[in-house]
Structure 1
Amino acid sequence: MRIGQIVPSSNTTMETEIPAILRGRERTLPGEQFTFHSSRMRMKKVTKEELAAMDRDSLRCAAELADAEVDVVGYACLVAIMSMGLGYHRTSQGALHARMKEEGHAAPVVTSAGALVDELKLAGIRSISIVTPYMPALTDLVVDYIKDQGIDVIDSIALAIPDNLEVGRRDPMALVNDVDRLNTRGADLVVVSACVQMPSREAIPVVEDKLGLPVTSAAACTTRSMLRALGLDPVAPDAGFILSEAAKAAAAASSEDIQG
């Protein structure tokens, strides 16, 4: 299966974390094999202006990935989508899918922004606390976006790192101490990285053990959405709650409640 990603030019994390998660899955399901293919949009500083300019380039990336006939596409920049207006992930996904269809290969498209809210809601999560690397104003946009999608945000930490390369170089295990400053009282789950550039994969199980709460990241949620789009069981080992059998069971129970 060919995994396509649309990534900011300065993103160094999504092409490492998603493959690492899916390589772990391959070890438990040796009949599966994934390859990874990316197209890049220019962006260096995480500012609203650069994010908007970058987003305009996403259609070119979709066309390039259509040429590779990938099986699914993930738009790998959460804040770019959330800074464009409430509910914009649906607009983006529709436009990218339409462009791929025009190019003769209509693969399913997910966005990391849509994946975060969709996968949490599917798993029955209604309240969260989050850590972001963004400046406070962008973090506020992310919080408002998530709340608009029906998920309460109990607390947020803005690490205020404007340089996207610096975000990608951050030690993921620093998050283990960062959560000491996070109010998690009343939260169903902690999003330890509400950014697909801030590394977090290694920290997720450690923070789960520390807090005694489900923990996930934007990258893990994106992986789950990709697996569902491929028609595959949305689980992977050592990747936290959202890719666990517990989340799968919660999603199944939620679906039964809706149908009932």
Structure 2
Amino acid sequence: MTPEAQGVLPHAPARRALGVVVPFDMELDAELWRWLPTDVDLLVTRTPFFDDVVTVEFAREVAQTRVVAEGVRSVTSGRAEAVLYACASGSFVHGRAGQEDLVRAMTAAGSRDAVTTSGAIVEALEALGISHVSIATPYTSALSLLLGSFLNEYGVTMAGHAALGLDQRIWEVSYAQTAELIRQSDAPEAEAIVVSCTNLPTYDLIAPLEAELGKPIITANQATMWAGLRRLGRLANGERQSLLHVPAHAELPSL
């Protein structure tokens, strides 16, 4: 006789949770889940809609600390143990100072621990001991250059770069286009390739392109989920992705 038949019901398994604040136009929630262990949930909220394309001005709008803080409050009302601001451009557009202001605002709004996508990328590069990178982005040139400047503030130099010049519907970029973008960005001096934008699909490209190019591929969504799970002492799911080999319990940097 089963426990249910005897009137003894099993306890629900314990689950962990990460809060996630994303821009209103985020289309890749499902990709974020691919890095998750089966017992960790994402509690996702979006910033308010406004009518614009992905430009420097757009990034500044979705990076307003009051907007992000409001999102943090909505997910920390539950069981989120840490909150992720999953927007690359929104977390690098104001440089290092802006990224660190966002983390402070997220903590002040109630997050026990907080990380932004751009902060996660820096954390990933530090964990791998990398200081020279190529940058691959779907953005306009103006936004792409701001990413290079942001990384430089953390002592990371840009050895090469490539950009698609897009300002909308980035989630529709095919794997083939993204793979070619990454190849074009590569440079002999680059120790790794940073692929920006949380709306750019990358999960299935990371392992094969690392094998092809012989260096780590650090993508926005990968770094965000890795850093968030690291704060739970957990490893992200993903085979043959260099970043995911970093121990989950390694000491966290203060960015």
Equivalent position SS for 2:80 = coil
Larger radius of gyration: 2
Q: Is the Cα–Cα contact under 8 Å of residues 186 and 193 in structure 2 kept in the other structure?
A: no
**Alignment match of 1:21 (pick from 35, 38, 56):** 35
**Alignment match of 1:12 (pick from 2, 27, 36):** 27
Equivalent position SS for 1:202 = helix
Distance 1:189 1:248 in 2: 19
Alignment of 1:118-137 (within 5 A): 118-137=123-142
Q: Is the Cα–Cα contact under 8 Å of residues 172 and 201 in structure 1 kept in the other structure?
A: no
Distance 1:227 1:145 in 2: 24
Alignment of 1:153-164 (within 5 A): 153-163=158-168
Distance 1:235 1:19 in 2: 10
Structure 2 letter corresponding to 1:174 = Q
For structure 2, list consecutive stretches of 5 or more residues without a partner in the other structure: 1-15
Deviation at 1:235, TM superposition (A): 4.5
The answer as to 2:44 corresponding to 1:63 is no
- Give the equivalent residue in structure 2 for 1:184: 187
Once the two structures are overlaid, the 10-residue window that deviates more, 55-64 or 81-90, is: 81-90
Distance 1:214 1:8 in 2: 27
**Alignment match of 1:167 (pick from 167, 170, 180):** 170
- Give the equivalent residue in structure 1 for 2:115: 110
Equivalent position SS for 1:195 = coil
- Give the equivalent residue in structure 1 for 2:109: 99
Q: Is the Cα–Cα contact under 8 Å of residues 5 and 38 in structure 1 kept in the other structure?
A: yes
Structure 2 letter corresponding to 1:117 = V
Deviation at 1:77, TM superposition (A): 0.6
The CA RMSD measured in Å over matched residues stands at: 2.1
Identity %: 23
The answer as to 2:52 corresponding to 1:49 is no
Q: Is the Cα–Cα contact under 8 Å of residues 132 and 189 in structure 2 kept in the other structure?
A: yes
Equivalent position SS for 2:91 = helix
Q: Is the Cα–Cα contact under 8 Å of residues 173 and 200 in structure 1 kept in the other structure?
A: no
TM-score in terms of structure 2 length = 0.84
Structure 1 letter corresponding to 2:190 = A
**Alignment match of 1:34 (pick from 30, 40, 43):** 40
Equivalent position SS for 1:198 = coil
Distance 1:235 1:179 in 2: 23
Structure 2 letter corresponding to 1:52 = R
Once the two structures are overlaid, the 10-residue window that deviates more, 199-208 or 77-86, is: 77-86
Q: How many residues align?
A: 233
- Give the equivalent residue in structure 1 for 2:7: none
Equivalent position SS for 1:231 = coil
Query: Which structure has more helix as a fraction of its residues?
Result: 1
Once the two structures are overlaid, the 10-residue window that deviates more, 173-182 or 134-143, is: 173-182
Instruction: Spell out, residue by residue over 1:119-168, the C-alpha distance to the aligned partner (whole angstroms, 9 max, x if none).
Output: 211221111111101100110000010011111110111111101xx101
Q: Is the Cα–Cα contact under 8 Å of residues 123 and 248 in structure 1 kept in the other structure?
A: no
- Give the equivalent residue in structure 1 for 2:13: none
Distance 1:157 1:18 in 2: 24
Distance 1:45 1:214 in 2: 30
TM-score in terms of structure 1 length = 0.83
- Give the equivalent residue in structure 2 for 1:227: 229
For structure 1, list consecutive stretches of 5 or more residues without a partner in the other structure: 27-32, 101-105, 256-260
Structure 1 letter corresponding to 2:175 = P
Equivalent position SS for 2:96 = coil
